[in-house]
Amino acid sequence: MTLASLKQKHAELNLEAVKVQNNPVISAFTSGGFKNGYFPELNKVKANYTAGLTLRVPIYTASRQKYSLAMASTDINMAEQDKQLTRRDISTEVYQSDANLKAAYRKIAQSELQVQQAEEARSLAETSFRTGSITNLDLFDAETLESESRLSLLKARTEYNVSLFKLNISLGRPIF
**pLDDT for position 20:** 86
Count the residues in the chain: 176
- Computed from CA positions of residues 18, 19, 23, 28, in that sequence, does the dihedral angle turn out positive or negative? negative
> What secondary structure letter does DSSP report for 87?
H
CA distance 111 to 158: 12
Q: Which residues contact 55 (CB under 8 A, 6 or more apart)?
A: 24, 25, 26
What is d(CA 99, CA 32) in angstroms, rounded to the nearest whole number? 71
Which mean pLDDT values do the consecutive 10-residue runs of the chain (176 residues) have?
Answer: 85 88 91 86 87 91 87 92 91 94 96 96 94 92 96 96 92 82
pTM of the model: 0.61
Distances (CA, A) of 173 to 86, 101, 166, 170, 176: 18, 16, 10, 8, 9
Q: Where do the structural domains in the chain lie, given as residue ranges?
A: 2-22+58-171, 23-57
Residue 28 has what pLDDT?
A: 96
Report pLDDT for 77. 93
CATH topology of domain 2-22+58-171: Outer membrane efflux proteins (OEP) (1.20.1600)
